[in-house]
Amino acid sequence: VDGKQISSIGRGLCVLLGISLEDTQRELEHMVRKILNLRVFEDESGKHWSKSVMDKQYEVLCVSQFTLQCILKGNKPDYHMAMPTEQAECFYNNFLEQLRKAYKPELIKDGKFGAYMQVHIQNDGPVTIELESPAATVDPKQLTKLEKQQQRKEKTRTKVPSESSRERNAPRNKDDPSASSGAEGDVSSEREP
């Protein structure tokens, strides 16, 4: 952060945590259990997928990563599903506290919430595993109105274009000042990472 190293670990897990608007204490507790008990390390005899971070007494580095809650609107990232900053910071600190209670506090490290960070990860294997709490599984009955609209838009894009959309997609003259490269749009968010 700001050119200074604020945290580091040796062998262990790097957890990139995306906090959703819908996350609760229940999801937090589930993720803490999963992270600490996930068998991704080899045992003493070299057998893969046998030991957890706790079994090996390894470290855990946590980084809050709201961009994991991204939903694409065309080519533009939308972060409306990420928990607002103030709530997310409290949730993240509670997550760290629960990890420290369930394991060894000195082996749980973190970045700086809300800061622009350069994170250097040496991914051994490489092994990257996406974890979601059971409540995060997609149930069509629980989709928000916006997500349903997004799904309808995606389905519509796969259909044959109508006459008017064919006209819109017709090639434009390079010398035409109103021609667009298709690279319009801003991928920034109102929140800083």
Averaged pLDDT, 12-32: 96
pLDDT per position as a tens digit, 46-84: 999 999 999 999 999 999 999 999 999 999 999 999 999
Q: Is the pTM of this model over 0.75?
A: no
Q: What is the pLDDT of residue 179?
A: 41
Known catalytic residues?
67
Structure tokens at 102: 């369930």
pLDDT per position as a tens digit, 92-142: 999 999 999 999 999 999 999 999 999 999 998 889 999 998 865 555 555
Q: What is the pLDDT of residue 14?
A: 97
Q: What is the pLDDT of residue 133?
A: 82
Averaged pLDDT, 10-21: 97
The larger pLDDT score, comparing residue 31 to residue 125, is at: 31
The larger pLDDT score, comparing residue 147 to residue 97, is at: 97
Q: What is the pLDDT of residue 115?
A: 95
Q: What is the pLDDT of residue 138?
A: 52
Class of domain 12-142: alpha beta
Q: What is the pLDDT of residue 134?
A: 81
82 burial type by CB count under 10 A (0-12 exposed, 13-18 middle, 19+ buried): buried
For 61, phi then psi, to 5°, come to -110, 120
CB 11 within 8 A of CB 56: yes
CA-CA distance, 25 to 38, in Å (whole number)?
A: 20
